Amino acid sequence: MGEDPYLASKMVVPYIKGVQMNGVAACVKHFALNNQELWRNHIDVQVSDRALHEIYLPAFKAAVKLGKSWSVMGAYNQFRGQHCSHHELLLNTILKTDWNFDGVVISDWGGTHDTKEAALNGLDLEMGSPIDTNRLPRQVFDANFLGSSFSELLKSGEINERVLDDKVRRILRLMMRTTLDLSRPLGKINNIEHSHVARQVAREGIVLLKNKANFFPLDTKKKLTIALIGENTIKSMTTGGGSSELKADYEVSPLEGIKKRFKNCNIIFSRGYTSENFENSDQVINSLINDALEKASQADIVLFVGGLNKNRGQDCEAEDRKELKLPYNQDYLISELHKVNHNIGVVLVSGNAVSMPWISNVKAVLQTWYLGSEAGNAIADIISGDSNPSGKLPFSFPVKLNENSAHFFGELSYPGNGETQFYKDDILVGYRWHDTKNIKPLFSFGHGLSYTTFKILNIKSDKKVYSVDDSLNISYKLKNTGRKDGAEVVQVYIGKSDSKVTRALKELKGFKKTYLSSGKETTEIIRLKLTDFSFYDESISDWSLEKGEYEIYVGNSSENISEIIRINIE
């Protein structure tokens, strides 16, 4: 849910509660440190205790302790020499003991590797182990690691029956919470209310990255010729991608959504590039490019709808991306389009960051993600101005791949040597890395523009000196100074420049999204818990709150800070 542990922690809790209020179990995955697909079944991750607890565990902790998730899925990879689906420290010590998790731990498909480890190290339900399927169903089940071999260890007394009792108790509890719960509400599927919610969620997630000379929104009343260029204009994004594939009842493409909304306009489409493999590929590619250039030269406005997709090597399970740049020669195509038409806006459909060597040649960039059934309608809502974009980036877009913290440290950091991987960036992940090392990103964490303008004024804390048990209240006035109604997300970060340990320049600790009509203003308060200022102290294997002076950064992205105030903790 993003590169920041606080953001992910805040987003995951209501998600889980919303799912489970309907008698459906949320399954939080992958626990933990599952951050690459290459060698995912065996790569052994080495990371400091501090980075583990400050960066990689907080969202899981919130999911369990605050969200009360009913199930957790273990990761494929190893951590310090032990597979995560049956890991003594992660599952028995942290999850089930420290966090009091009372749900079911499930292995990912084929993620179980040893009967005794699985039995003793916290795995409750084994899924999809690669066994001989040319047997009768009962024999197939018995062949699993938690099948007959587990039964023999119980019968021999090598494993105490209490281990089995705990697993059975957890699975029965999950059944009682779901299919055996007589108060469980009846569900609905693909009704009009679902479509409305899907469209709203999609709209609010879209991020306006660049908007030179107010390129967006486009005027729906003008009889413009709009050239829609790019395969993602028509490509289905609910299908493909391995486990990210959805069985959607319908999917509105960007082409459908834009044509429907811009009925006064002449909409012309050209594929421009292809992700498919063809014989005589050079001939096909050149033909597509030439058609795109011809269409673009005829248009008042060019909307390039490109990005990634769910093919292997893109946003797809089981294989990492090969590079940061756009695939299928899209960078070249955009540069060629600029030669015939300077009025270009880019609509990126992707689940991840891309480099943008063409950024100075386009007037606007929208990051739309994968928006599901209502994708095309939501995109049309934004580019027409029917809805004002208010999304913010949940991670940083680096200019170049080696300016990302994991890649900066070379192959041992990512992807490892084939056996072991070392998280050399430690706690300096994402914007923490960019800010602390003064490496300017292409687009910063928390960045997102609007069709209106906002000012954050009168920023202050409720006092200057706090004791350890206090809460910190940051108040501010937010004013919509533009001509359109819209929403802004004010973000609060903390830093400690004189810390006794290495710290990031700043860390997100609070945010609030506020909707305001044009010309209106409001006073808001963001409350922070001082315990959230703690760092994980490896010398005591626990959290520690330093006393002294802290910097409080208030702005609308990690890079755009309106004011810094200082407080003291005694």
Q: Which residues are catalytic?
A: 108
Sequence-distant (6+) residues with CB within 8 A of 185 are 22, 23
CA torsion sign, 27 to 180 to 245 to 257? Answer: negative
Question: How many other C-beta atoms can be found within 10 angstroms of the C-beta atom of residue 229?
Answer: 32
Q: Distance between CA atoms of 531 and 469, rounded to whole angstroms?
A: 8
Q: Where are the alpha helices (DSSP H) in 262-310?
A: 281-297
What is the maximum span of the chain, computed from C-alpha positions, in angstroms?
81
Write down the H helix ranges in 144-262.
Answer: 148-155, 161-177, 192-205, 254-261
**Look-up of token digits 């899924």:** 127
For 107-131, give the secondary structure using H, E and C: CCCCCCCCHHHHHHCCCCECCCCCC
Helices (H) and strands (E) in the chain, counts: 14, 23
Tokens of 214: 């107010």
3-state secondary structure of 385: coil
Backbone angles phi, psi at 194, to 5 degrees: -60, -40
For residue 27, give every residue at least 6 positions away whose Cβ sits within 8 Å of its Cβ, in sequence order, or none: 69, 70, 71, 72, 73, 106
Q: Which amino acid is residue 266, in one-letter code?
A: N
Would you state the structure tokens that stand for residue 313, as one six-digit string? 């090597």
136 vs 122, 127, 140, CA distance in Å?
A: 28, 17, 6
How far apart, in Å, are the Cα atoms of 302 and each of 90, 229, 371, 404? 51, 7, 22, 31
DSSP assignment of 362-429:
-SEEEE----GGGHHHHHHHHHHTSS------SS-B-SSGGGSHHHHT-TTTTT-SSSEEE-TTTT--
Per DSSP, the residues of 31-76 read ETT---STTTTT-EEE--HHHIIIIISHHHHHHHHTS--SEEEE-S
> Between the CA of residue 31 and those of 56, 61, 351, 425, what are the distances in Å?
9, 10, 21, 20
Q: Helix, strand, or coil here: 471?
A: strand
Helix, strand or coil, per DSSP, at residue 21: coil
The answer to whether 457 and 563 have CB atoms below 8 angstroms apart is: no
Q: Write phi, then psi, for 510 (nearest 5 degrees).
A: -170, 150
Helix (H) or strand (E) holding 381: helix 375-384
Task: Please give the sequence-ordered ranges of beta strands (E in DSSP) within 181-234, or none if there are none.
Answer: 207-211, 225-229
